[in-house]
Each structure stands twice: as structure tokens, then as C-alpha cells.
Structure 1
Amino acid sequence: MPEKRLFLRSGTGTRFIRLTPLSQIFALVTSAAFIGWAIVATAIVLLDTIGTGNFRDQARRDQAIYEDRLNALANERDTRAQEALTAQERFNTALAQVSEMQSELLTSEDQRRELDRAMEVMQATLRRVMGQRELLQRDLDQLGAQLDHDTGKPVDDSSSESVASTMDYVTDTLEDVAVERDHARRRAFQAHEEMANLELEIQFLEEKGDRIFRQLEEAMSISVKPLDKMFRNAGLNTDRLLEQVRRGYSGQGGALSPITYAPDALNTVDPTVDRANNILAQLDKLNIYRIAAEKAPFDMPVKSTHRYTSGFGPRWGQMHNGSDFAANRGTPIYATADGVVTRAEWGSGYGRVVYVKHAFGIETRYAHLAKIRVKKGQRVSRGQRIGDMGNSGRSTGTHLHYEVRVNGKAVNPMTFIKAGRDVF
């Protein structure tokens, strides 16, 4: 690059600027660097715009799929609950019918026993009357021997008349006993027929009740297993959790209380009542799981379109104790479970942060907020808005830092979120 001169002419004179080879090389390199930087920056902006659009579309699709699955699971849960209620109503109706049939059967059995006793009494009376008739017949024969063969009259007229009256009484009594015996036989036959019909009806009701029990047991299994799996996947002890929820209630009795009954003399166990109590126990467990699900953080803190930017675990040589969700500034942040706000203020590196204390020793934290919408000591419900997404504290961009701690120890929030997606 030879030396050049740039002449600048004006009305008063002419000036020139000398361009040395070094200055020309510097100007050329500077121009090339600026043009290269402009090209790279433009490419980065374009790629980021395209990537953001793809992430946004993917997030919308994921949200639509998630909402469709939520709606399908909610509809299935409602259907199963309605089937369980309907089956329980059918079971109660069938149980009442079985109880009524058993009462009628016991009444018929008592009537049959009474008829058997009456038959035995009438047979004993008949035997006694027959014996008396034989004695009277012998007396009559003896009196006949004393009759006068010439006149054909008895020696003692008063004895003959007494025997005749006694015979008439015996004959009338025998006829009455025969009528009562025939009537008792007809009643006994009718009672046996009624017992046979009642046994057939009871057998039919037992089969119907068995089908109802099977449907209820299947419905309970389908409803309880996903909830049990959800809590186990979240790392919670289900036995301890159920006991803790039960301790929160002081009332006794109710629709889900076990059926109590007085055992019979043989101390036999009624399998129908045991099956009903097992179903009631499953319903009670399902109800407790439903209550516990509202108290544990299985929901998403961000329901709008967002990006998952960072997970739980080591990051840049330090432990990252939560999950990060990025979206536009002011995006609503929601409580993931019922609880009480224990802190709602500026928290150093957290910036504007909200702590929520839940049941079972669980605490959730929502950091880097732009605005806090709750106060310390306030009780919040699952899905209630508690703040807006921001960039406060030590943050490199607008996002939510979400933490879940169990008994003070940080755990992976996605464990709860993924477990909740299988059910809700």
C-alpha cells in the first residue's frame, strides 16, 4: 500500500491529508473487523430469534398436550368417582335387600319351627286321644256284655249314656284335630315353598352383590394406585403421610367408617361385611390422598409459556438447589400447594423471594421476583398467584428460581412436578 495524499479544496485554499501505509492498513483492518462483528452479531440475533420462536412453539405444543392430558385425567377421575358412587349406592341397595330377605327368611324359619312344634303337639294329642278312644272302646265292650240279652237294654243306663256322650266328644275332637293337622300341613308346605323362593332370591342377590363388590374393588384399585405411585415417586413415605393426615382430623364416624356388627354365637365372620369394610378403607385412603395432594407441591409454579433453563444439581462448580423457568417479565407465579407464607421480602441473592410452608415438612421458595403479591403469615391455596417473574437479586436474566425443601433439605423440584403430571 503506497503512501497516498487526500486533497481537500476549499474557497480559501487547498489542504491535503497524508495516508501512510500503516494508517491505511489500520483503517482497512478496523473496517474489516467492524463488518465481521456486524455479520456475526446479526447472525446471533437471527439465530436467537429463530430459536426463541421454536422454543415458544414447542412450549405451546407441550402446554396444549399437558392441558389435554390434564383434562382427560380429570374426566377419567370424575368418571371413576361417579362409578364408585353409583356402585356404592347399588351396593347399599343390594345390602338392604339382602338384609330384608334375611329377615324374611328368619321369620319363615321361625314360622316353620312353630308349625313343626304344633304338628308335634297335635300328633301327641292325637295319640293321647286314640289311646283314650281305645280305653273307652274296651269300656263300651264291657258294658255291652252286661246288657240283658232278652230286652237288649243295659244294666246301668247312666253308664251307657255317659259312654255315648264321651264317644261323641272324642269323635268331635278327632275331627277338629284332623282339620288342624291338614291346615298345619298346608302351612308347612307353603312355608317350605317360600323358603325355597327366598333362598333363590338370596342367591341371586349374593351374585349381584359379588359383581358390585368386584366393580367397586377394581374402581378403588384404579383410583388409589396412581396416587400411591405419585407420592412414592416424590420420595414421601406414604404410611407416615396417611397417618399424619389422619391425625389432622378429630371427628369420629361418618360415611367411610367401618361397618360394625354383632357376631353370632359361633363367632363366624361375615365375608360381605369384611369386603364392604375393605372398600370403605380404600375410599378413606383415596380421600386422604386427595387431601394430601392439595397440601404437597405437585403443581407447576409457572402456567404460562416458558422455557426450562436450568435444573437441579451442580452448576459452574456450585450446587444449584432448584429449577429455573424463564419467561417474560411480569409472568404470574403461582403457589404449588396449600400453605402459609413464612417470608415475603428481599432476600440478598434471591432478590424478592417468597417462602411458603406446606404440610409434611415441605417448603417451597420462589426467587428473583419482580413483584410480591402476598404477605408474611398469609395462608395461600394451590394455584393462587403469589408474585410476578422478574430479575431481582443475583440473576443473569428474567426467570423464576423455584426450590422445594423437605425437612430443610433441598430436593429436585421436578420430582414433584413429574409425579403430579401422572395424575393431575
Structure 2
Amino acid sequence: MHKFSLPAILRLFFTLHSRTNPGAGKHVRRHSTVPCTDSAVNLDPVSIILMSTLMTVAMCVVMFAAQRSFPRNVEGLREWGIGMAGLVLASGLFGLRGIVIPEVLLPLANSMFLWGVGLLMVGTQRFYGVRPSWHLFHGAWLLGLLVMLCWLYLWPDFAMRVAMFSFLMLALNLTQFIVIVRHGERHATTCFFGLLMLVQALAMLHRGVNALLGGAGSDMMHGGPHYNLYLALLAFMTLLLPVGFITVATRRLQTLLEQRSNRDPLTALLNRRGFADFHARHSARQPLAVMSIDLDFFKAINDRHGHAMGDRVLVDVASVIRGVLRDSDAVARFGGEEFVVLLPESQQARAELLAQRIQAALRQPRPDASLPHYTLSIGIACQAAEDESLDSMLQRSDRALYRAKQLGRNRVEVATPALLSPQAPQHICLN
């Protein structure tokens, strides 16, 4: 890959011209101030750093725009935006090389770069709900500053500076990779982000070990045999790592929007749409059982204690029902004080047992002593045939619930199978 700079273009032109006109070539070489070397095929560090800086600026703007647009519970975007702004500032400091003396410039630029990458780590940890490693964050950039001062002033050694800087970067990137593996969702976006972070960590490891083995070169402009590969990877990762984080953040946003469309905002239970989707996914796990649950005298609770207390009672009911169900069961709030439970792979005996457990839980002292006493009426319908629809089961469980209300409330009624001749439903009195 050729450098797109005026000296490189001149060298390329002079080389081609000398091949077609040897005499002219000698004349050019004698009077040209640009040495004809093989460095024309190398990557230009200044161009790579400039390109990486421009991409970082663009992704920094994207991060801040996403942070303003995404819900607040999608965390980490702010830290990523500020961290990338720190990387831009570090690149700007590196750009002052030749204007500011290296003894002042290099410690500031390198420590600022570590500060920015450390904040990216904090953002990743916040996104996955992990406590931020502030000790590692501050330790990395402060130790980076100390390393630069020691091997720049006391024992000048470019290779040691490169090695220590690379190992500090490795610690920050490896910490993020571990967080992604442990707490990331099993999804393609997580794999993509984790793979990018692993590649970045391995690049830092290679750079650090190579520096200790004498492959660091003499300075930033002459970085050793693998420096071109390192520069190319740096340019790619500057763009790909923020893209990887945006992909997992977008996936999180998609999940939140799906939950909001399928969940009741007060109780966090499924709504009608979510309940129908759950049934569609688990309808093959027969036999199915349905419980229709209704809060007794809920209007009186609202009238006597207020609607705020009524909402707290509904949340408590949801907690009680969830507490007795399996993870494979589903409970939804259909509106007002009406709840519906779907029990895959459940016979009538199990449905009755769960109803009794719900009633028993309500007879125990409530964790919130300020809640008024309340009771529930429950209607149960078990699948009468493999082809019986969910609507048919809900109608039968509703009829059983209505009969429980008629017979005095605070009880459980089991509906008669739809294919049998009508008769009085079975009932369990829990008074």
C-alpha cells in the first residue's frame, strides 16, 4: 500500500521515469532531495493516525447522538462517547509532535489515550450491569504516566515504553472481553463485539511481547518489522470497536421495545399480545391448563384506599402468582384486576395445586404490612382435546371464575371439559 503524500508520489514518478530513461533517472537522483528507498511501500504512521482520529471523531458523534436517543436503561453510551473524545484529544496531542518537546508531550498523550480506553471499559461494564472497575481505570492511566516518565527521563528506553503501554492496554481490553463473555446475551451481535475485543487484546499482547524481544523499532515513525500490520489493525479497530458496541446497544434497544410491546407497564407481566405469543410458541407442549384469576372486591379497595394503593395491590398479586409458577409457565394481566395463567405440560391436578398455593400465600402475612387484606377467585380449565383453541379454554376458565364469584368468592372452580355434557363444575372451597 503506497503513501498518498507528495513525497511518495514524487518518488514513484522518479522511479518509473528512471526505468524508461536511465539518463534522466541519474539526473533526477543527482539533484533530487528525496531519497529513493523502499519505504514508499510502507504505511505512513502520520496518515494512519490522522485517518483513525477522523473516524474516532465520527464515532464519538454517533455515540453521543445514540446516548440522547436511547432509553436511559441502555447504559454505557455516555462513557463510550466521552472515552472516544479522550482518544481524539490524545491523537491531537500526538499531532503536536515537533511543536511541543517530547518530554512533555509523550507522557500527556499516552496517559490521555489510556484514560480514554479505560472509560470505554467502564462504559462496557455499565452496559452489562457490572460494577465499574474504577481502580483499574485510574491505575491504568496513572501507571501509564509513571511508565512514560521513568523510561523517558530516568532510563530512556523506547522499547520498554511500548511494552508497558501495550500491556496496560491489554489489561483494559481483556477486562472488557471477560465482561462480554460472562454477561453478554447469546446473540450474533455479542459474538461480533466480543471477537473484536479479543482481536484487539491479542494485538496488544503481540505488540508488547514483540517490543520486549527487540522489535519495537526506534520511535513512533519507525516501529519495527510488524509495525505496518499494527497500524492497519489500529485503523480498523478504531472504527469496528464502536460499531460493535453500537450493535449490542441496538440489540438491547430492540429487546426493550419488544418487552414494552408485550408487557404490562404496571406489573411487568405479559399483556394480551405477549400471552398470545407465548401460547403460539408453547402450544405443542400439551396438555395445557389455563387459570383465570380475579381480585375480589377490587373496586372497594380503590374507593376506600385510593387508586395508588390499588396499583400496589395489583403489583403484589403479580408477585404472589409469579412466586408459585415455574419458569416455563406464563402469567399475564388482561386488564384491570384480571390475570390469566398458562401452564404447559400440566394436568388438572397440578393446576389445582398451584391455585391452592396461591390462596395459601395470600393467607400468610404480606411483606408490605400497609397493604389491605384481599382475596382471589380462580377458575381453571384444562385442555379437553388436542385441537381445542386457546379462546375455548379461556371461555371455559372465565365461566368457572364467574361461578366462583357467584358461590361466594375466595375459591377455586374447575370448568367442565367442553366435549362432555354440561354439568355442575367441580369446586374447591377455600373459605
Structure 1-normalised TM-score?
A: 0.27
The structure whose residues are more often strand, as a share, is 1
The structure whose residues are more often helix, as a share, is 2
- Structure with the bigger RCO (C-alpha within 8 Å, sep 6+) is 1
Structure 2-normalised TM-score?
A: 0.27
